[in-house]
Amino acid sequence: MGTNVSRNLEEPLFLERWWLPPIYIFSGTFILDGNDITPEKIANDLQSLYEITKTHRVRKWPCMLAQFFLVPVYCAPSFQDETLYWLKMGSRSTARFKLQRLGIIMKPALYNTERNVVEFKEAVQNWNLNYYSFLAPLFIRGISKAANHFGHKPKLEGLFAAKTLSEHSPAL
Protein backbone atom coordinates (compact mmCIF):
# COMPACT_ATOMS: atom_id res chain seq x y z
CA MET A 1 0.00 0.00 0.00
CA GLY A 2 1.08 3.59 -0.53
CA THR A 3 2.49 5.96 2.06
CA ASN A 4 -0.84 7.74 2.62
CA VAL A 5 -2.65 4.65 3.86
CA SER A 6 -2.51 2.51 6.99
CA ARG A 7 0.19 -0.13 7.45
CA ASN A 8 -0.67 -3.86 7.30
CA LEU A 9 0.11 -5.75 10.53
CA GLU A 10 -0.81 -9.15 9.07
CA GLU A 11 -1.37 -10.64 5.65
CA PRO A 12 -4.87 -9.81 4.35
CA LEU A 13 -7.54 -12.48 3.98
CA PHE A 14 -9.43 -12.70 0.67
CA LEU A 15 -12.68 -14.44 -0.17
CA GLU A 16 -14.95 -14.58 -3.19
CA ARG A 17 -18.28 -16.31 -3.79
CA TRP A 18 -21.58 -16.18 -5.60
CA TRP A 19 -24.25 -14.21 -3.84
CA LEU A 20 -27.71 -13.55 -5.16
CA PRO A 21 -27.55 -14.13 -8.93
CA PRO A 22 -26.10 -12.47 -10.87
CA ILE A 23 -23.97 -10.82 -8.15
CA TYR A 24 -20.54 -12.10 -7.25
CA ILE A 25 -18.90 -10.88 -4.03
CA PHE A 26 -15.20 -10.28 -3.46
CA SER A 27 -13.87 -9.35 -0.03
CA GLY A 28 -10.63 -8.39 1.63
CA THR A 29 -10.12 -8.39 5.40
CA PHE A 30 -7.15 -6.30 6.49
CA ILE A 31 -5.44 -6.06 9.89
CA LEU A 32 -4.12 -2.49 9.97
CA ASP A 33 -2.21 -0.21 12.32
CA GLY A 34 -4.82 2.08 13.88
CA ASN A 35 -2.52 4.34 15.88
CA ASP A 36 -3.41 7.96 15.19
CA ILE A 37 -6.20 6.90 12.82
CA THR A 38 -8.46 9.72 11.69
CA PRO A 39 -11.62 9.83 9.57
CA GLU A 40 -9.54 11.16 6.67
CA LYS A 41 -7.07 8.24 6.90
CA ILE A 42 -9.90 5.72 6.98
CA ALA A 43 -11.53 7.31 3.92
CA ASN A 44 -8.14 7.41 2.13
CA ASP A 45 -7.68 3.66 2.67
CA LEU A 46 -10.74 2.83 0.53
CA GLN A 47 -9.08 3.08 -2.89
CA SER A 48 -5.88 1.31 -1.87
CA LEU A 49 -7.68 -1.60 -0.16
CA TYR A 50 -10.00 -1.92 -3.15
CA GLU A 51 -7.03 -2.11 -5.55
CA ILE A 52 -5.38 -4.81 -3.44
CA THR A 53 -8.60 -6.85 -3.20
CA LYS A 54 -9.23 -6.46 -6.93
CA THR A 55 -5.78 -7.89 -7.78
CA HIS A 56 -6.46 -11.00 -5.66
CA ARG A 57 -9.77 -11.97 -7.20
CA VAL A 58 -9.82 -15.06 -9.39
CA ARG A 59 -12.98 -14.38 -11.36
CA LYS A 60 -13.20 -11.19 -13.37
CA TRP A 61 -16.75 -9.86 -13.38
CA PRO A 62 -17.88 -6.48 -14.68
CA CYS A 63 -18.35 -3.74 -12.09
CA MET A 64 -22.14 -3.93 -12.20
CA LEU A 65 -22.11 -7.67 -11.38
CA ALA A 66 -19.33 -7.58 -8.78
CA GLN A 67 -19.65 -6.31 -5.21
CA PHE A 68 -16.51 -5.60 -3.16
CA PHE A 69 -16.55 -5.63 0.65
CA LEU A 70 -13.50 -4.23 2.39
CA VAL A 71 -13.18 -5.02 6.10
CA PRO A 72 -10.25 -3.15 7.64
CA VAL A 73 -9.67 -3.96 11.32
CA TYR A 74 -7.79 -0.98 12.75
CA CYS A 75 -5.75 -1.98 15.82
CA ALA A 76 -4.62 0.46 18.51
CA PRO A 77 -4.60 0.83 22.31
CA SER A 78 -7.13 3.68 21.99
CA PHE A 79 -8.96 5.72 19.37
CA GLN A 80 -9.77 9.39 19.07
CA ASP A 81 -13.29 10.42 20.04
CA GLU A 82 -13.59 12.22 16.68
CA THR A 83 -12.96 8.97 14.80
CA LEU A 84 -15.43 6.97 16.91
CA TYR A 85 -18.10 9.64 16.52
CA TRP A 86 -17.54 9.87 12.74
CA LEU A 87 -17.95 6.13 12.30
CA LYS A 88 -20.89 5.77 14.70
CA MET A 89 -22.78 8.59 13.02
CA GLY A 90 -22.00 7.20 9.56
CA SER A 91 -25.59 6.62 8.53
CA ARG A 92 -26.45 10.23 9.30
CA SER A 93 -23.30 11.93 8.03
CA THR A 94 -20.82 11.97 5.21
CA ALA A 95 -18.98 8.94 6.64
CA ARG A 96 -21.14 6.43 4.75
CA PHE A 97 -20.56 8.25 1.47
CA LYS A 98 -16.81 8.41 2.02
CA LEU A 99 -16.69 4.67 2.74
CA GLN A 100 -18.48 3.40 -0.35
CA ARG A 101 -18.55 3.77 -4.10
CA LEU A 102 -20.46 1.96 -6.80
CA GLY A 103 -19.90 -1.73 -6.07
CA ILE A 104 -17.42 -1.07 -3.22
CA ILE A 105 -18.35 -0.93 0.46
CA MET A 106 -15.89 -0.52 3.33
CA LYS A 107 -16.92 -1.80 6.79
CA PRO A 108 -14.21 -0.78 9.26
CA ALA A 109 -13.82 -2.21 12.77
CA LEU A 110 -11.81 -0.64 15.59
CA TYR A 111 -10.03 -3.19 17.81
CA ASN A 112 -8.62 -2.03 21.17
CA THR A 113 -5.36 -3.94 21.61
CA GLU A 114 -5.04 -3.24 25.34
CA ARG A 115 -8.54 -4.29 26.39
CA ASN A 116 -9.03 -6.99 23.71
CA VAL A 117 -12.40 -5.53 22.71
CA VAL A 118 -14.03 -4.22 19.58
CA GLU A 119 -14.71 -0.51 20.13
CA PHE A 120 -16.59 -0.08 16.88
CA LYS A 121 -18.22 -2.34 14.33
CA GLU A 122 -21.21 -1.11 12.36
CA ALA A 123 -24.43 -2.65 13.58
CA VAL A 124 -26.66 -4.57 11.25
CA GLN A 125 -29.05 -2.17 9.54
CA ASN A 126 -31.91 -2.81 7.15
CA TRP A 127 -29.79 -1.87 4.14
CA ASN A 128 -27.00 -4.38 4.96
CA LEU A 129 -29.12 -7.16 6.45
CA ASN A 130 -28.97 -9.17 3.21
CA TYR A 131 -25.18 -9.20 3.36
CA TYR A 132 -24.85 -9.90 7.08
CA SER A 133 -24.44 -13.67 6.72
CA PHE A 134 -21.48 -12.88 4.46
CA LEU A 135 -20.07 -10.03 6.59
CA ALA A 136 -20.22 -11.67 10.05
CA PRO A 137 -17.53 -14.31 9.33
CA LEU A 138 -15.28 -11.61 7.82
CA PHE A 139 -15.46 -9.60 11.05
CA ILE A 140 -14.90 -12.70 13.17
CA ARG A 141 -11.87 -13.82 11.12
CA GLY A 142 -10.38 -10.32 11.06
CA ILE A 143 -10.86 -9.56 14.74
CA SER A 144 -9.62 -13.04 15.74
CA LYS A 145 -6.51 -12.59 13.61
CA ALA A 146 -5.90 -9.16 15.17
CA ALA A 147 -6.31 -10.57 18.71
CA ASN A 148 -3.83 -13.37 17.96
CA HIS A 149 -1.37 -10.84 16.51
CA PHE A 150 -1.35 -9.00 19.86
CA GLY A 151 -1.16 -12.17 21.96
CA HIS A 152 -4.81 -12.18 23.06
CA LYS A 153 -7.26 -15.02 22.95
CA PRO A 154 -10.09 -13.96 20.62
CA LYS A 155 -13.34 -13.37 22.50
CA LEU A 156 -15.42 -13.92 19.37
CA GLU A 157 -16.70 -17.47 19.37
CA GLY A 158 -20.05 -19.06 18.61
CA LEU A 159 -23.22 -17.37 19.82
CA PHE A 160 -21.25 -14.70 21.68
CA ALA A 161 -19.75 -13.59 18.38
CA ALA A 162 -23.12 -13.40 16.69
CA LYS A 163 -24.55 -11.37 19.58
CA THR A 164 -21.52 -9.05 19.73
CA LEU A 165 -21.52 -8.43 16.00
CA SER A 166 -25.25 -7.74 15.81
CA GLU A 167 -25.38 -5.19 18.64
CA HIS A 168 -25.17 -1.48 18.08
CA SER A 169 -21.99 0.12 19.35
CA PRO A 170 -22.36 1.75 22.78
CA ALA A 171 -22.97 5.51 22.86
CA LEU A 172 -20.03 7.83 23.37
Provide the mean pLDDT of the chain: 76
**What's residue 34's pLDDT?**
92
Does residue 29 contact residue 71 with C-beta atoms inside 8 Å? yes
Find, among 9, 12, 2, the residue nearest to 32 by Cα.
Answer: 9
Q: What is the pTM of this model?
A: 0.79
Domain boundaries, the chain: 13-166
Per-residue pLDDT of 113-136, as tens digits, reads 998 888 887 665 555 566 667 777
Q: Which residue has the higher pLDDT, 9 or 171?
A: 9
**What's residue 72's pLDDT?**
92
Whether 12 shows a pLDDT value over 70: the answer reads yes
Per-residue pLDDT of 54-109, as tens digits, reads 888 887 766 567 788 888 999 999 999 988 888 877 645 555 555 666 778 888 88
